């Protein structure tokens, strides 16, 4: 770890701080602004227009008009696709500035912004730009003399509410498929990170996006966010954020016009290291599964389950790896971990660390703030974590790794009765039921969440058995955090509903119309 020094000056100008409504940057109707802060020291970066219900009304009216009267859904799909491709080119051209803005506003490392997140945003625009002119319905063989077809139509005006942990990626996951399918959008960014979406949206317009198709509101959840979720003219709501807020917006959608809702919420994801795993690889991936993005990931591997036979070795290596993690100014080369997003999260994480110590978990490394300025926290590792401890149940959303020990292995061939039929996929569920050995499955599933899981083993039967038994939306086997644009992502249980990315992500922004025509007139 390096000592905190004077913050490096970000290599970017801030050009856009107003709301984006109908293709124009405008002040909030009430004239209010709010500050956005630099997580490195808590200084104000900029004052940003604060959107409220009235601004949401204006934005929804613009999106409504662009949808109902065109041009957006009436343009050819090819034209829409070309605007998305041109956007991707412009994002590439301005990659450095965009990455700098993202790092400045969120505290994530510049290397991560520039090498991972902006490239993934670009990839999402190309991926969904590619889909725009390939979305079509089916011809359906129905009983009777009918010609039946389905039309895959856009839903209309999509309201989108995104969080602060991946401002640009969430922008891409939301806006990309919505536009590809021909919807218009009102997006509310998180109050902690309004800047990058305002910058990038300007590029969409430079690429030829007509006014009103994408509107961006900066502002707070209970005001601007709630106004969007309860708006009568919004046809669809896509939300990413905490499970508690997900419940609120789902309620607002239900109470207003029953707009269609997709939710991507929290997690407490198991990272399961079996006794036959490659320990060094598992240590490194468990480390990045938890500490990536300062631990501020809905899919963080926040319960590291390690088999008892390799537990001591794993623990020693995990502790050593965390102690070596380089914390510091996120603009500095080689830094792996920047500050947490804001003082609220900072305090909350330190509180969870105290809970961990008080509940009897063993603090292996870290445990305190890092430096004396800003919202930096030492990479923290707890061992001897028990399932019923608060740190094993709540989403901490910070750089705090919890290591838990488990005993039993699933479905290792040596457990199988050789005289029985060979192992097939269909048999695996039965095997799981028949054995009373699935301690780790039961513990991994005993959470209200169900977002992702990591499985580390050399044995394909163990991998198959765990994969089928885990109630989660993604299983990463001997890998973690693989976020290709084509791979669907989303949660089981209270981690949400709907899938983003990939072909499945289109479903969130399409509705199906069945059209029936008699084959011959009576």
Contact positions vs ligand ADP (CB under 6 A): 161-163, 188, 190-191, 220-222, 225-226, 229, 241-242, 245, 248-249
Closest separation between CB of residue 228 and ligand ADP, Å?
Answer: 7
The SS3 call for residue 150 is strand
Read off the tokens for 119.
């490239």
Closer Cβ to ligand ADP, 163 or 172, answer by number: 163
Cβ contact 14:49 at 8 Å: no
Closer Cβ to ligand ADP, 459 or 495, answer by number: 495
Residue whose C-alpha is closest to residue 4's, from 380, 377, 352: 377
Closer Cβ to ligand ADP, 192 or 462, answer by number: 192
| Separation of alpha carbons 483 and 505, rounded Å | 13
| Separation of alpha carbons 177 and 84, rounded Å | 10
For residue 358, what are the contacts with CB-CB under 8 A and spacing of at least 6?
A: none
Cβ contact 334:325 at 8 Å: no
The residue whose Cβ lies closest to ligand ADP is 221
Closer Cβ to ligand ADP, 176 or 241, answer by number: 241
Residue of 50, 102, 117, 264 marked active site? 264
Whether 92 sits among the annotated catalytic residues: the reply is no
Cβ contact 107:375 at 8 Å: yes
Closer Cβ to ligand ADP, 260 or 405, answer by number: 260
Residue whose C-alpha is closest to residue 229's, from 245, 250, 215, 243: 250
Residue whose C-alpha is closest to residue 210's, from 79, 88, 92, 95: 79
- 381: which strand partners? 365, 401
- Unique residue bearing structure tokens 């490659």: 278
DSSP, res 358: H
Q: Which residues are catalytic?
A: 264
């Amino acid at each position: 770890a390096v000592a905190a020094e004077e913050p490096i000056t970000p290599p970017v100008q801030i050009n856009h701080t107003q709301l984006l409504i109908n293709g124009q940057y405008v002040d909030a109707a009430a004239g209010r602004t709010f500050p956005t802060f630099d997580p490195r020291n808590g200084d104000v970066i900029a004052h940003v227009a604060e959107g409220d219900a009235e601004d949401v009304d204006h934005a929804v009216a613009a999106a409504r008009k662009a949808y109902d009267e065109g041009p957006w859904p009436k343009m050819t799909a090819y034209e829409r696709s070309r605007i998305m491709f041109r956007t991707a080119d412009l994002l590439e051209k301005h990659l450095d500035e965009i990455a700098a803005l993202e790092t400045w506003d969120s505290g994530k490392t510049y290397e991560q912004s520039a090498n991972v997140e902006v490239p993934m945003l670009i990839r999402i625009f190309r991926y969904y730009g590619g889909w725009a002119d390939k979305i079509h319905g089916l011809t359906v063989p129905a009983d009777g003399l009918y010609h039946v077809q389905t039309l895959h139509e856009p839903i209309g005006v999509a309201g989108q509410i995104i969080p602060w942990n991946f401002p640009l990626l969430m922008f891409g996951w939301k806006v990309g498929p919505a536009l590809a399918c021909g919807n218009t959008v009102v997006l509310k960014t998180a109050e902690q990170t309004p800047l990058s979406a305002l910058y990038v949206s300007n590029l969409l317009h430079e690429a030829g996006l007509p006014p009103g198709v994408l509107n961006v509101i900066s502002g707070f959840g209970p005001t601007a966010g709630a106004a969007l979720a309860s708006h009568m003219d919004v046809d669809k709501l896509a939300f990413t954020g905490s499970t508690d807020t997900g419940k609120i917006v789902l309620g607002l959608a239900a109470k207003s016009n029953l707009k269609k809702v997709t939710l991507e919420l929290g997690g407490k994801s198991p990272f399961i290291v079996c006794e036959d795993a490659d320990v060094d690889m598992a240590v490194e991936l468990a480390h990045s599964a938890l500490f990536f993005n300062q631990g501020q990931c809905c899919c963080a591997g926040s319960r590291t389950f390690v088999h008892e036979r390799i537990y001591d070795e794993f623990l020693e290596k995990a502790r050593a790896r965390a102690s070596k993690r380089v914390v510091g100014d996120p603009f500095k080369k080689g830094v792996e971990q920047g500050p947490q997003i804001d003082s609220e999260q900072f305090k909350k994480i330190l509180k969870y660390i105290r809970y961990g110590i008080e509940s009897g978990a063993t603090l292996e490394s870290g445990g305190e703030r890092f430096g004396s300025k800003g919202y930096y926290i030492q990479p923290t590792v707890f061992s001897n974590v028990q399932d019923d401890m608060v740190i094993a149940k709540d989403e901490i959303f910070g750089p705090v790794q919890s290591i838990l020990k488990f005993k039993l292995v699933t479905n290792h061939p040596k457990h199988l009765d050789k005289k029985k039929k060979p192992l097939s996929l269909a048999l695996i569920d039965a095997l799981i039921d028949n054995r009373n050995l699935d301690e780790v499955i039961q513990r991994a599933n005993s959470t209200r969440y169900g977002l992702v899981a990591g499985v580390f083993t050399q044995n394909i039967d163990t991998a198959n058995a765990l994969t089928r038994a885990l109630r989660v939306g993604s299983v990463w086997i001997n890998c973690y955090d693989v976020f290709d644009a084509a791979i669907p992502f989303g949660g089981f249980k209270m981690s949400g509903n709907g899938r983003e990315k990939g072909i499945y992500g289109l479903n969130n922004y399409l509705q199906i119309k069945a059209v029936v025509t008699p084959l011959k007139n009576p």
